[in-house]
Structure 1
Amino acid sequence: MATTVDIPPHIQERCNELGGGVGYALKVLRAQLGDDPLMGTPQGEPSLYTVEIDGDTFEDCPALLVHYAYGPPLLEEGRVEIRGITVTQPPATDDGQDQVLDRGLEEAAVRQVSTAWRRVEAWLRERAPASYASLKAGASVEEIGALEAALGLRIPADLKALWSLHAGVRDVSGAGFLPDNRALMDLEAVAAFHRMQMRFQQRSRSDEDPTWRPSWIPFCSYGVDDRSSGLYLDSATGELGYFSRYAERWTEYASLTVYLEEFADALEAPGLVTGARPGLAGGALVWGPPTYSDPDHPWVEYTS
């Protein structure tokens, strides 16, 4: 019985994003998996495997780690499905100028994100101890690498910088201190939500107007355990977009740097804020005025 190898639309889209010889490399791998679906390395979970693609084998192709599922319990017998692609080594190039430029832009973004977040953190530590106490420790390089493997894409340097400082918040009072009272998602929640949204997208089969793209990385949500709305970073463009359970999607910020710098500016110069304003309630940063106020912890607008 021949093995059927499926490449879902979002994986085709990922190949287009990576460009170069990635599409051809995946076609070759597809034929190889059809002949030998067990050629990959088992991942410790039933039906899940990874296989490496040597970028030097194909013209203009990076080294890749391809994640796939094979057979029961995830799939039918005799079926393979490609589920993710991670770039592990960029292709070699004779012109290093572009690489130096890209690296310089990444380093600048990391500095800007780190500086803006430190401003926010200092404000919370001094004025909103309940919110400051909700912060989790930063993620390690290994933890972020594992998330990249789970998502099947490269996480931009600016988002890595944020997560290396604090990878989410605890579910305590004051945790939803981001603008619009959103909460920073931890890495486990990011992987689970992205995986769920990609399943929904695969079922909808709507590639012209997708409800979710592989490059969208969620990073904050309506609440610590409430994913009804939030923001994602588009790893293909660097923009931040809004999502909701009603399939609403639009761009809100040009970049993570812009978002965090505006956040820090609003705390340090609240008189210039339009829309929701920063305030304090029970030692927590709360944006308001809130629709419903807690009589035991009344909201007080922060003005200086």
Structure 2
Amino acid sequence: MSGRAEATERAWNRLRAAILRSPDTYPPLRPPAPEAAVRAFEDATDTRVPEALRTLWGLHEGAYDVRADGLRWDFMDGHAFICLDVARQMHAMVTLPLNHGLFTDRWGRAWDPAWIPVTSRDDSTMYTSGYFVDPGGRVGSWDGHDLTEAVHPTLAHYLHHIADRM
């Protein structure tokens, strides 16, 4: 395991410890993503999953989207921790239309197909904001007004940020 993979696992363990302190507050975590599912994601999106994200999905493939009263489905810095299927849907949704000009006037650029969504917030009709991992393992964010690359220098840094806020 590389340094980035180990750092991601350590950061996730901090986050998981915070969840375990109040398990009734957070959504149940999905089991690890099988390696075959990650490869299928890569094939479907024609995008390589960075090692840190592969490590994270190898620990948990997101969280179940349970929106019950009192349950923080949006614990990942105000966003849901999405599964591979949702990440694949979002990737297709933002790559194709955004690269045909949608939001380019607001963002000043198109969505990079190499970016992989890892969290999102939605309003039942569109994913309105979220965080993505770029090929270098940096974490960026988007919403209806801004597209910001490298908000966090690594996925581990992003996870530590979330754990600090929990």
Q: Could you say which TM-score interval applies, normalised by the shorter chain?
A: 0.7 to 0.9
Instruction: Please give the per-residue CA displacement for 1:57-105, whole angstroms capped at 9, x wherever unaligned.
Output: xxxxxxxxxxxxxxxxxxxxxxxxxxxxxxxxxxxxxxxxxxxxxxxxx
Instruction: Give the SS at the match of 2:29.
Output: coil
Q: How does 1:203-218 map to 2 (within 5 A)?
A: 203-204=100-101, 209-218=108-117
* Letter paired with 2:101: S
Instruction: Give the SS at the match of 1:204.
Output: coil
Instruction: Give the SS at the match of 1:167.
Output: coil
* Aligned residue number for residue 183 of structure 1: 80
Task: Give me the TM-score of the superposition, normalised by structure 1.
Answer: 0.47
**Unmatched 5+ stretches in structure 2:** none
* Aligned residue number for residue 137 of structure 1: 31
- In 2, are the aligned partners of 1:136 and 1:166 still within 8 Å (CA)? yes
* Aligned residue number for residue 158 of structure 1: 52
Task: Give me the TM-score of the superposition, normalised by structure 2.
Answer: 0.83
Rounded Cα–Cα distance in structure 1 between residues aligned with 2:5 and 2:31:
18
- Offset at 1:215? 1.2
Rounded Cα–Cα distance in structure 1 between residues aligned with 2:39 and 2:123:
23
* Aligned residue number for residue 174 of structure 1: 72
Q: How does 1:1-304 map to 2 (within 5 A)?
A: 107-131=2-26, 133-172=27-66, 173-179=71-77, 181-204=78-101, 209-223=108-122, 227-235=127-135, 237-246=136-145, 248-251=146-149, 252-264=151-163, 266=164, 278=166
Instruction: Give the SS at the match of 1:192.
Output: helix
Rounded Cα–Cα distance in structure 2 between residues aligned with 1:122 and 1:211:
37
Instruction: Give the SS at the match of 1:230.
Output: strand
- In 2, are the aligned partners of 1:176 and 1:224 still within 8 Å (CA)? no
* Letter paired with 2:18: W
Greater RCO (CA < 8 Å, at least 6 residues apart): 2
Count matched residues: 156
- Offset at 1:224? 9.2
Q: Which has the higher strand share?
A: 1
**Identity of matched residues, %:** 26
- Offset at 1:223? 4.9
- Offset at 1:232? 0.8
* Letter paired with 2:114: S
